[in-house]
Structures are given as structure tokens and as C-alpha cells.
Structure 1
Amino acid sequence: MASHTKVEKFNSKDEVTAQAEIWKYILGFTPMAAVKCAIELGIPDILENHETPMALGDLASKVGCTESSLYRIMRFLIHYKIFQVKSISKTSVGYVHTPLSRLLTRQGKHSMADLVLLESTPAMLAPLQKLSAWVLGDKELPFKAVHNTDLWGFCAMNPAHSELFDRAMACDARVAVAAVIKGCPEVFDGLKTVVDVGGGDGTAIRSIVEAFPWIKGINFDLPHVASMAPTCNGIEHVGGDMFDRVPKADAVYLMKVLHDWRDEECINILKKCHEAIPQDGKVIIVDAIIGRNEDDHDEFKEVALMLDILMIAHTSDGKERTLDEWSYVFQEAGFTRYTVKHIQAYQSVIEVYP
């Protein structure tokens, strides 16, 4: 008599779903790896410069690879809706862009390619392996546990990584500032001077001054950063330390700065901002709020939570904050009120008043 192997059946639909879902975590690194591969091969830019759907053979020729290897990468990315296919003829198809893949072009206005390349580097991924040690009370923060220095020290010792980091932050800045300008331009009404604290290469304040040319912009960052920023009409680059002083202006602009720091440091930075503005001035904060629009549909709801995990891995006790946590640091820094505006980005705009 033939033997029969007993096949275990799942007891419920939930168990089947769980079995399928767990593979998304087991193999969760593969979408990042495939997208990084596409960027490194230049596929988004090749398609951007090709006006019609591009056949596999033509794309492979342009990339300089075999059709068989490229096909497998493209098949994966099409499944994830990074790219799409369209008919060329009755018997053949070609690859074309989607709104998502256009964000992966290297020179696109809203390119996020350098952010993908940054976060997929071994240097940024390795500290994520130390999360459990951090939760269990390891005094050494994840990034320092791996690299024997903090992120800023690592960048100082690794110029290529520092350059990629700066390009990645500029990507985020361009997208966020465009969302601010489009979603709530009234934030800049009546302002004659704006100082961007931690402005890096000046990407953000440059976009603001271009949109509102009556504003005089001040790009404020550490001296070695400000000294490398490109010259731009209407913008003064100033070097200094935000823990010592902030240049005076009608408004202080803080985009993705405070989330790098613990409450104590945030309060100190905000106190310096308070000293820099007049009584009728304000601080404009562009940063994530965990739990924003909790009752509404929010395409960016998960982004702040994921970024908070990255803050554990990459910074010295930085964190993304809930609105209550934001309110606490505002009050402790001596501000009396604030308003919140949501934009089409994972950040919100918080206007804080003396």
C-alpha cells in the first residue's frame, strides 16, 4: 500500500494570510535592492530620454547587459509597479515610466534616487542590526556601536558618504519645500527675511527665495558646510553653531533639524530661535508628526513611524514626535502658541509664535 504524507491544513484564512505576509518581512530587502539596481544601471534616465516604449533588446543594449538578466530585474520591478509595459506592436511590448519611476531619475526635479542610494548603503543598513541591543539598554547607540563614531563623525571621515548624504538631504529638501510652497504659501506672507537653520547647501532657502523673491534668505549651517554652499542671488551663507546663536530674521525655518535631537537639545535650539526673531516673528518647522490625521486617509501615515526607527539607528537619540511631544518642547522653549498645516508630504508645517 502506498504511503500517504499527511498534509497539514490551515485552520483559518488568517493563518494563510499570515504565512503569505511573513515572506514580505523575510524578503523585505529585495524591493530596495532591485530599485537600487535600476538606479545604478541608469534605467530610469534611459527611459526618460526615450519618447516611446522601449523594447527589452534596446534597453539591454543601452544598459550594456544581456536581455535575460535585465528581463528578470524588470519583471520584478513591473510587479511592484515601479515601471510598466505598453504595446509596441501586436507581438511586442516596451517599458515606460510610471509616476514612481520618474522619482528615480538622477536629474529629475523631484528625484529621490540619492535617498535610495544612501539608505541602501552598508553603512546605513548595519546599525539597524543593533536595534534589539538598544532596546535592552545598550548604552552605545546603534550607529556608534557599528562605526565607533556618530553619523556626523562618519561623514567627516568618509567624504564620498558625506557627499551622498548631502545629495540625499537635498532631494528631500526639494520635494518638501515644493510641497510647502504649493500647499501653504501664506506661511511666507509679510516676511522680509528668513533664516534656514541647518540649511546645508542652501537648497531649501533657494527654493523659497525663488518662489517669494521679496524675501532675503540666510542659509545658516556649520562653517565648513556654509562655506561650500553655492553662491545664489538673494541668499547669504552664514557659518555658525545653532546651539550658540541663530542669525536674526523675521522667521526661522527649521526643516528636518529638530528630529535629530533629544528634547533637551530641541528646547535649547528653539530658545536660540526665539532670541533671533522679533515679537511678531515666528519659527516655521517642517517635520513629521506621528499620528497626524489619525482619523483621515493619509498616504504618508507609515512614513513617520518608519523614520522613527531610522532615527534610533542613525542619530544620537533623535526621534519623530507626536503633536503632544512637539507641544511640550515649544512650551519649554518659551513659545505661547502654534498652528499646524498638513501638506502633500510626510512632513507637516508647524508655525510657532513667541
Structure 2
Amino acid sequence: MDEGLNERIGLMLEGLPEPLRDPKKIVLGIVIILIIFWGLFLRPHPGTISAQITELDSGTAIIGATVELTAPDGRVEKTEYSDNAGRVFFKSVASGTEYSLFVEPGTTYKPATEYFSLNSGEAASLEVRVSRNYKLTVSLGKETVSVGAGCSASIPVIVVNDGNEPAELALVGGDSLGEWISSEQTTIGGKEEKQLTLEISVPADASGEKKGEVRARYTNEGANLEVNVVDKPDVSVSPKSISESLGSDNSFTKTIELSLKKGGDLEIDVECRVVGDDLQGKTKVTATDDMPLKEGNPKLFRADFGPFSSGTHLGKIICETSCGDYTILVEVTK
């Protein structure tokens, strides 16, 4: 080592207090400082996990559920029971390890497992949603459906209850389909099969392809559905108004035609009804067939008017479609 450097180090040591002049003591001091620093800042500290046990879909708190904190090797480290708010707390949980919470909620619900891992000293929370102990099978009449933006569609769904007990029944959507899906609410008996109608309502600003699950509410039992959103189709109705002056005749007949442009493979259901006291009981609107409206296949209705007494009779015929309603103004003079 350079003699000048040795001299400078010697002078520095002479300026230190006596206990710090010994190099061994300096090294020992550094080691002690590193140990303290590791203990305070680097050593993993245990954390705390709280869990909220709720019923799937309703969010109702599950009281008295048995909750086990399970280590990766399957060993149950701690067991707690959910309180009146459906909550459990586990303290002094090792960090950096993947644990699981196994929830046994009783005979009304199915068991559930949720996995988690804590950072050093972390206080985390999670929600465990448990499903009702129903034994249902859900089958969709169609697994893929095309719907126009701003339009709606319906498909049949068959639900089978393989259990012996009745079950509350409605259909809900999961993933990206959640707000688009609805159905009637009913009850299905044990060992019973029931058909429901699934309503799909697509927002006007939607586009592209949406995939998700359609399941029985309060359960994880369901089937996958794909909705292809296309541009809103162009529906036209003819005639746009009906104005008839009757002479000696008291009755007449008109044909109402709805046609579809830019519809692709869309199928649109149409129903027409009469509105107005002047026409009620004097006008009947009947579809000529049971087929939906499609591009190249107009939907026809026969409208029978009369008999009418003297005077002016006003009303409307409203044709309701899954892409909006169309109104035909009616004026009959006798």
C-alpha cells in the first residue's frame, strides 16, 4: 500500500475516539448496524388478513361460517368463525407465503376457497362469496347470438333441478355480460325442469364481441354465451299512416309491412297492437305467419277495421320490435 495513504489513514484514526481506533471494533460496529437495519426494515414481518363472508349476488353476510387459514402444505394453522357481520380476522400471518382461506358455511351453502399472499407487515382484506347449495343445470337454446346495437334479443334457457328441494330461480350474467342479461324470477321444484326466457339488451354504444357466463342467480351453475354486436339495423314500416273515408262500407282491410335493411343474419321479433278508444273493439291486427323479421323476409300483418259508426275515429297502431317501436297513425271517417 502507498506509504502516503497509510499515513493519511493513520492520521484519520488518531482523530477518532479511542474505542473507534481499533479496525476490528469498526467492523463489528458495522455488522451490528446492518443487523439492526435488517431487523427493522428488511426482515419479513407477519401481517393481518380480514375476510368478509357473503352470499353470492345478494351480498348477505354469512354468520357462523367456519373459516380455516391453511398453509401451502395443507396444514390448518388457525380456525375462526364469522361474526354477526360475516367477518373473520387472522393476526400474525406469515408474509410472502401463499395461504388459503377455506370457508365451510353450513348446509345451506357450498364450501369456498380463496387464496392470498401478504407483503411484509401488510393488513389486507378480501371477500369470499359462497353460493347456495342448489344442484342446477343450465342449458342455453343458443350459445351465440347476433344483436344490433341498441336492440334486444331473447333466447330460451332450460334449467334442470337435480336436487330434491325447490330453488329460487332467475338468470344473471357474468363478466362483460352482467348488465345486459335479465330474466323472469320464479321457483323450480325438486327434480323439475323449467324453461325461462333470457332477455339480452345491448346498449346503443356497444360494439364488437362480448363473451360471458349466464348462470342461475345465487349459484355458479351456468353456461357460456357469446353476443356479437352489429350495427343497428334499418327497419321501415309501410304505410306510415292510414287515413280512410268510408262511404256505404262500414269495414276495410289494410296490410302492414315491416322490412329490414342492413340486418345481416339478425332476426327481429315484431308485435303490433291497437291504441285508442276509437279503435278498440273495432280493429284487429294479426300476423300472417310466426316467422321473425329478417333481411329479405318482410314481416306482414293484416289489419281489419270496422264496423264503424258515423263520425271521425282516431287511434294508432304501434308495432313493437326488439330495436324500437314504430307508430302508424290511423284516421277513419264515416
Answer yes or no: same fold by TM over 0.5.
no
More helix by share: 1
| Normalised-by-shorter TM-score class | under 0.3
Which protein has the larger Cα radius of gyration, Structure 1 or Structure 2? 2
The TM-score normalised by the length of structure 1 is 0.19
Compute the TM-score of the two structures, normalised by the length of structure 2: 0.20
